[in-house]
Amino acid sequence: MAYTLQIGDQAFDFNLKATDGNYYGLRDFSDSRILVVFFTCNHCPYVLGSDEVTRETAEKFASQGVRFIAINSNSPNTYEEDSFENMVLRMNEKRFPWVYLHDQTQEIALAYGALKTPHFYVFDENRKLVYTGRAVDQPRDASKITVNDLDRTLSELLSERAVSVPVTNPIGCNIKWEGKERHWMPPEACDLV
Domain that holds residue 86: 9-191
Residue 14 C-alpha from the chain's centroid: 14
Residue 4 within a domain = no
Q: Tell me the β-bridge partners of 174.
A: 116
User: From the CB of residue 90, how many other CB atoms can be counted at a distance below 10 Å?
Assistant: 20
Domain count across the chain: 1
Q: The whole model's pTM is what?
A: 0.95
Residue 126 within a domain = yes
Residue 2 within a domain = no
Assess contact for 11 and 120: CB atoms under 8 A. Answer: no
Residue 112 within a domain = yes
AA identity, residue 58: A
Q: How many angstroms separate the CA atoms of 153 and 190, rounded? A: 26
The CATH number for 79's domain is 3.40.30.10
Residue 169 within a domain = yes
pLDDT tens for the chain, 193 residues long, are 478 999 999 999 999 999 999 999 999 999 999 999 999 999 999 999 999 999 999 999 999 999 999 999 999 999 999 999 999 999 999 999 999 999 999 999 999 999 999 999 999 999 999 999 999 999 999 999 999 999 999 999 999 999 999 999 999 999 999 988 888 877 777 554 4
HSE-CB of 189 using CA atoms within 13 angstroms: 19
